[in-house]
Amino acid sequence: MNTSRQDKKALWGGRFAAAPDQLVREFTKSVHYDWRLYREDIFGSLAHARMLREIGVISSGEFAAIERGLKQIFAEIEAGVFAWDAAREDVHMNIEAALTARTPAGAKLHTGRSRNDQVATDMRLWVKHSIATDRALITGLQTALVRLARKYQRVIIPGYTHLQRAQPVWFAHHLLAYVEMLARDGARLADARRRADTLPLGAGALAGSTIPLRRERVARLLGFGAVAQNSLDAVSDRDFILEYAAAGAILAVHLSRLAEDLVLWSTAEFGFIRIGDAFTTGSSLMPQKKNPDVAELVRGKSGRVIGNLVALLTLVKGLPMTYNRDLQEDKERLFDTVDTVQQSLAVFTALLAEVRVNAAVCARAVADPLLLATDVADWLVNRGVPFRRAHEVVGQAVAISERRRVPLDRLPLTVWKKLHPVCAAGLRKIFNVRAALSRRKMTGAPGQQQVEAQLRRWEQVLK
């Protein structure tokens, strides 16, 4: 699209005798990234135009021409044939100029609004729509985790603290921990959406309008649940973006932790799982390598999502009321967070379908009787031994076991009796990993019945 000299003058208004310097134009333009708001900008403009017709600012014929023009522009953008003009700075001016070129009524569309409240409206709509997609993707990943858990629900692995083998747990129980995390992520996003669900349009540049705009009508047309109650706050508020970025950062951290488990489990040292070839890569030098690059990238990309949150917080921390051009910088950080989180969710969902668990390796890993040392302490407690004393007894037994190079479950009963007289032959029955897990019957524990109940619960919820 060519911009005439008269059109260029209109871009900076009648106040200025000269156009901005070319360096300034390049420095201030945002259309190369904020074009992504075109849907929200056009939807918002259609609602605003409908309201202007209802209050008599534009005629029915003018509204029809505006509606027709905006729908044409929308179709052209969707088809990839719309000509974006960097000289028009942003998505709003590009669409308005294209509309005005098609109908003189386009010049009336901006009545009663500013780019300040316009962009705030577009961004809120965009965040709301993005959250809907995020939550669907979260459900997809949860479903993939539950399916993998169900497929290998009879597999037991060591649970870890400090990355040291601690106690046995069902593999399914471990995966369900991430399902719970993701549920909180979805809830945080739902909360963030509620606070994004407020219409700023009608706040103008900062002080509303003397034109009797019907803001509640526009809110209903655009699906907003509320109307901003303070015009200054309406145009300057970016809390909804900060909150989204914070929820996205926590979600990215959860995905990073899952990635770390997958990376560790797929190593030769662990050998618990194999990730399908389609989600691994080779080495440019070492022909034998099969690297979990997808999981590593998800882990790495969490850093940029966290960085986006820090950048956004830094951006707004020193801004005076109301709108300041600094806020132009919020979009790329927001867009990047949305893109990164959604891509990570999607690729992990696909990756989990290609994970295979090596049950034999897992069984060998949980055969270590030291994993049941705490169960022995509990056995002593159930026979009246104070826990601290029971802890000491088992610790001494472990030390003797290591010194004699005898597995803990094969330590002679005479040794146990010397450590505490309550020890009896029944103690040896503790060293049965499946029986040990079956004894964990409380809510949230990794007992077989509890894990089965949680699998059924999540399968029902995720329907």
For residue 309, the SS3 value is helix
Cα gap 113→94, rounded to integer Å: 16
State both tokens at 200. Answer: 């700023």
Cα gap 49→134, rounded to integer Å: 31
**What separation in angstroms does the CA of 425 have from each of 122, 372, 429, 435?**
72, 16, 8, 16
Query: Which residues are registered as beta bridge partners of 307?
Result: none
CA angle 190, 192, 194 (to 5 degrees): 75
CA angle 220, 78, 132 (to 5 degrees): 45
User: If you search the block for the tokens 């705490």, which residue do you land on?
Assistant: 374
Which among 190, 44, 54, 64 is positioned nearest to 126, based on CA atoms?
44
State both tokens at 65. Answer: 């021409």
254 catalytic residue (yes or no): no
Cα gap 149→154, rounded to integer Å: 9
Cα gap 90→31, rounded to integer Å: 4
Is the bond preceding 133 in cis, omega lying within 30 degrees of 0?
no
Cα gap 60→235, rounded to integer Å: 30
Of 162, 302, 391, 401, which is the active-site residue? 162
* Contact by Cβ (8 Å): 174, 260: no
Pairing of strands 198-199, 226-227: parallel
283 catalytic residue (yes or no): yes
Residue 176 CB-density burial (10 A; 0-12 exposed, 13-18 middle, 19+ buried): buried
For 356, phi then psi, to 5°, come to -120, 135
* Contact by Cβ (8 Å): 97, 104: no
CA angle 305, 306, 309 (to 5 degrees): 90
Of 32, 59, 283, 438, which is the active-site residue? 283
Indicate which residues carry an active-site annotation.
Answer: 162, 283
